[in-house]
Amino acid sequence: MIPYIQLVPPPIQSLRNHCASCSVLHLCQPKGANKSELHRFEQIISRRRIPRERALYRMNDPFTHLYLIRLGHFKTYQVNAGGAHQITGFQMSGEWMAMDAISAEHHQCDAVALEDSEVCEIPFFKLTKLFTEMPALLHHFHRLMSKEIARAEGRMLLLGNMRAEQRLAAFLTDLSSRYGARGYSSISFQLRMTREEIGNYLGLTIESISRLLSKFKKQGWLNVENREVELLDHASLKALATGVEPENGGGKFAPWN
Amino acid sequence: MIPYIQLVPPPIQSLRNHCASCSVLHLCQPKGANKSELHRFEQIISRRRIPRERALYRMNDPFTHLYLIRLGHFKTYQVNAGGAHQITGFQMSGEWMAMDAISAEHHQCDAVALEDSEVCEIPFFKLTKLFTEMPALLHHFHRLMSKEIARAEGRMLLLGNMRAEQRLAAFLTDLSSRYGARGYSSISFQLRMTREEIGNYLGLTIESISRLLSKFKKQGWLNVENREVELLDHASLKALATGVEPENGGGKFAPWN
DNA sequence: CGCCCCTTTGAACCTGATCAAACTGGGTGG
DNA sequence: CCACCCAGTTTGATCAGGTTCAAAGGGGCG
C-alpha cells in the first residue's frame, strides 16, 4: 500500500452546512433553488473525507446514502465470481455515486478514492421525503439518474464497437470535456489513475495503453509525461473517438452501413 | 425491408383501461397498489401497437413518454457519427424503455420492435404529477431506474472483461432467467433476434456467434436449431458466464488477483 | 420452384494480448 | 549522499482469439 498523508479531520462544524457556497452546488441542486430549500437540504446531509485508496463503500454493503463528490476523484469497480475486476467509472467533483444501489438496496460495486477526497453524504430515505415538498429537486434527481443510464449506454458503444485507438481517444476527450465543464483546463490535466486502471476501464491491457499514448505522442496529438497530459490536437482525437475514421467511413464493426 | 403482417388495429376501447388484469402489472406497479391508484394510472396511459421492424421512437426524437412493453420484444441501439450501430439492449414484456431520455429530453437511441408488439405509453410529465400523491409509485420508479443503471454496469463487465465464449454464455443465461421470471420456460425458448444482432450486442461478429453456438452444441451444453434454443447444461453455461473458469481461476483480465 | 436472407463453415489475417526485459522516478536505508 | 528497491511504465517479440474474406448451405415466403 502506498503511503499517503493522512488528512487531519477538521472540526465537524467546518464540514457542515455550507451548501450556498459549495463549489459544486450547481451540479447538486436544480437551478433556482431558494434559500429555504437549500437549508432543508443542508439539514439532512453531512460531509465526509475519504483518504486516497480508501473505500467509500464496498460491493454488497447495505445501501443507505447517495454520495456527491465535493472534491477529489473516485473509481468504481465490480468484481465477478472469478475475481476479475471491471472499473465501471471514474468519478470527479460534482458527480453522484451509488445510484445503482437503490434497486437492490445494497451496493453494486466498490467505490475507492483515487486521491484524498471529500464527499457529501445524502441519506436516501430522507432525500425521498424532501422530494414530496420540492418537485424541482425531484425532477433534477430524475435527470441525474437518467444521465447515468445514458452515460452507461455510451460506454457500451465504446466497449462493444470501438478499436483500441478509438477507446483511448474517447477516454481522453471525455476527461477533457469534464474538466472543461468544471472550469479547469480542458487541454492540460493530470491523470488521477494508473495506466492499468485506464486499461481495465477501456477493456485493454496496460501495455496497449502505454503503446497508444506513445503513438499519439509521436503523431503530435498530445504530450504525456507520467500522469501529466496535454492535448495538442483535440480535433483529431475527437474525430477518432466519434468514429469518423479518415481511411474508411465506418470502421470494421458497422454491419448495417 | 422484411415484409410483415400488419396487425389490424383493434377498436381503441379494447386497448385502454385494463391495468387490473394486465399481465405485466406486477412489473409496472409497486406491490399493493390499490384500485383507486390503478385507476389514476389508467387515466394517463394509453396502449399502442408496434409492428415488427417498426420504430417506437428514434434517436433525437423529443422525449415525451416512457414505455412499458406489454407484449413482444424490442431492441434499442445507438448509432455513432461514423454510422456504426451498437445494440444497447433487448427488451421484453414488463420492461421499461426510454428512461435514458429524461435527462437530455430527447431519445438517446432507436427502439425497434423485433416482432409485432404492444406497449403502454406513459406521459412522463403526467407521471411526475402522480408521484406527488403516490409515494410508493415514486419509490418503485426509482428502483426501476436504478436497476437500469445496475444492468448497464453488468454489461460493462461483460464487454470489458469477458472473452467471446463467456459473453455468449452470459447472454443465454440472462435470457433464460428473464423468461423464467415471466413464467415461460427458462430452458427452452426462441431467440427473437438474428445472429448478427446478438453479435453486435455482445461486441462480436456474426461468424463468432455462429461458431460458438455450434461449439456449445457439440459440447452438449445446448441444442439450437435456427432460433429455437434449448439449454441442456445450464450449470456449465452459468459457470462460464460468471467467470469461474475450470482451467485457471480468474481469466486473462484480472490484474489485481 | 426459386429467390433472398440468414446462417454455417473454412482459411488467412490482424489487432491486441501475453510474455519478457529494461527503464524510470520517488522513497528508503545504509 | 548514494545505492537500492519497488511499483509503475515503456518497449520489444511472439502468440492467439476473434475478425475478415470467401463460399456454400438452409429455410421461409412469394
pLDDT tens, residue by residue, B231-245? 999 999 999 998 765
Mean of the per-residue pLDDT values for chain B? 88
Which CATH number does B163-241 carry?
1.10.10.10
Q: Tell which A residues from 160 to 219 touch B, by Cβ distance under 8 Å.
A: 160-161, 196, 200-203, 205-206
List where CATH 1.10.10.10 sits in chain A: 164-241
Sign for the CA dihedral angle at A237, A239, A245, A246 comes to negative
A179 sits in the region (left: phi over 0; alpha: psi -120 to 50; else beta) called alpha
Contact B88 A161 (CB under 8 A): no
Say if A82 is an interface residue toward chain B (CB within 8 Å): yes
Asked whether residue B253 carries a pLDDT value surpassing 50, the answer given is no
Q: How far is CA A93 from CA A22, A96, A97, A102, B6, in A?
A: 11, 9, 11, 21, 51
Region B128-136: mean pLDDT is 92
Beta carbon pairs, A and B, within 8 Å: 202
pLDDT for residue A89 is more than 90: yes
**Residue B9: CB atoms within 10 Å:** 10
Å separating the CA of residue A210 from the C1' of nucleotide C22: 15
pLDDT at A21 over 90: no
Q: Where in chain B is the domain with CATH 2.60.120.10?
A: 12-158
- Give the gyration radius of chain A's Cα atoms: 20
Q: In this structure, what C-alpha cell is assigned to residue B12?
A: 381503441
For residue range A158-167, list pLDDT tens digits in order: 999 999 999 9
User: Residue A76 forms beta bridges with which residues?
Assistant: A89, A111
**Closest to B138 in 3D by CA, of B48, B53, B249, B30:** B30
**Distance (Å, whole) CA B159 – CA A203:** 7
Q: Tell me what pLDDT residue B16 has.
A: 53
Please state which architecture CATH assigns to domain B12-158.
Answer: Sandwich (2.60)
Give chain B positions within 8 Å (CB) of A153: 78, 88, 100, 108-109, 152
B12-44 per-position pLDDT tens digit:
445 556 788 888 998 899 988 888 889 999 999
Q: What is the distance between the alpha carbons of residues A173 and A189, in angstroms, rounded to a whole number?
A: 11
Whole-angstrom Cα distance, residue B257 to residue B251? 10
Q: Which residues in chain A have Cβ-Cβ distances shorter than 8 Å to B85?
A: 161, 254-256
Please tell me the predicted confidence (pLDDT) of residue B2. Answer: 36
Whether CATH 2.60.120.10 fits A44-158: yes
- What residues does CATH 2.60.120.10 cover in chain A? 44-158
**CA–CA–CA angle A220, A222, A223 (5° rounding):** 105
Give the confidence band of A194 by pLDDT, cuts at 50, 70, 90: very high
DSSP assignment letter at A17: S
3-state class (DSSP) for residue A122:
strand
Domain with CATH 1.10.10.10 in chain B: 163-241
Level-2 CATH architecture, domain A164-241: Orthogonal Bundle (1.10)
